Amino acid sequence: MLLLGAAVLRPWAVGPGGQSGAAAEEIGGGGSARDAKTARSGGDSPVRVPVPGAEDDAEGAGGGSAGAGSGKLTGIAAKPSSAWVNSTAEKTGIPARVLAAYAGAELAVKRETPACGLDWATLAGIGEVESAHGTLAGGEIRSNGKQQPAIFGIPLNGVTTEHIPDTDGGSLDGDPQFDRALGPMQLIPETWQRFAADGNLDGKTDPQQIDDAALTAARYLCTDGHDLRTPAGWIQAVADYNNTADYNNRVAEAANSYRQRAAA
């Protein structure tokens, strides 16, 4: 979801893989980081926590289940080890069904765009900031990955947001005048129409379905050639998603907290 304005990154902003410091002083100008500097290493920052594949589970690669009552998973949610998903969900507090989508999206783009270096914790940081993993205002993501009730952002009418006139005829967001951010990952219709992915392999692309939303967000973050394993690349990619320093810092804080808890 896009907000107005450029701002200065606080020096404690933490990027990927435990790097901290001011990797860029200012975010602005079409979602790019400017005046890049060498980031200071964060001595007590978390390391990345790799996602084992489903083939590492005892049941093999046929797809496990994440979370009680979730049933058999398909698409990207079946890619990560269900044992890892359930253990990491308990450590982090991320709902297991949602974490399966984040981790599966990491594994999918790792194969598609290995130079991107996106990890599940970055997606989880975005999901936390955008919708509290779909639990905003009492909502939930169900075992089939569907957001209930559907989440729509405020109209992007230029008052406190970017000015984004309607691009979808209201077909995705129900608003024929202005675009609104969609679903648990809060992607705008224009972005959705460009990058929409069928993460659960049901033949549809639905911004209110977490597998579709997580994979779409992952592909969007990886589209401009940023290396999210570097502080500057991570900041640039997140700036493409939302171009404010406050947003960067909130996502970074959440992502690194999840890495720390997952590694414990």
Q: Are 33 and 238 in contact (CB under 8 A)?
A: no
Please check the confidence at residue 6 and state whether its pLDDT lies above 60: no
Which pair of tokens denotes residue 240? 């493409």
The whole-number pLDDT of residue 58 equals: 60
- Non-local (6+) Cβ contacts of 165 within 8 A are 177, 178, 179
Residue 70 has pLDDT above 70, yes or no: no
d(CA 152, CA 168): 14
Lowest mean pLDDT among 87-101, 164-178, 202-216: 164-178
Give the mean pLDDT of 93-103. 98
Residue that wins the pLDDT comparison between 228 and 61: 228
Q: How far apart are the first and last CA of the chain?
A: 32
Backbone angles phi, psi at 255, to 5 degrees: -60, -45
What is the percent of the chain with per-residue pLDDT over 90, rounded to a whole number?
Answer: 67
Average pLDDT for the chain? 82
* pLDDT over 90 (residue 71): no
Predicted confidence at residue 162, as pLDDT, reads 87
The pLDDT of residue 57: 72
Split at pLDDT 50, 70, 90, the class of 20 is: very low
Q: What is the pLDDT of residue 54?
A: 83
| pLDDT classification of 26: cutoffs 50, 70, 90 | very low
Percentage of residues in the chain having pLDDT higher than 70: 77
> What's the pLDDT at 67?
54
State how far the Cα of 126 lies from the Cα of 132, in Å rounded to an integer. Answer: 9
Mean pLDDT across 7-33 = 35
Distances (CA, A) of 123 to 16, 38, 118, 215, 236: 12, 24, 8, 9, 15
Residues 6+ apart with CB under 8 A from 7: 26, 27, 244, 245, 246
Average pLDDT over residues 121-135: 98
pLDDT level of residue 118 (50, 70, 90 thresholds)? very high
Mean pLDDT, rounded, for 150-154: 94
Confidence (pLDDT) at 44: 35
What pTM was estimated for this model as a whole? 0.82
pLDDT of residue 3 exceeding 80, the answer is no
> pLDDT band at 161, cuts 50/70/90?
confident
Specify the residue for token string 């955008």: 130
pLDDT confidence band for 207 (50 / 70 / 90): very high
- Report the 10 Å Cβ neighbour count for 232: 18
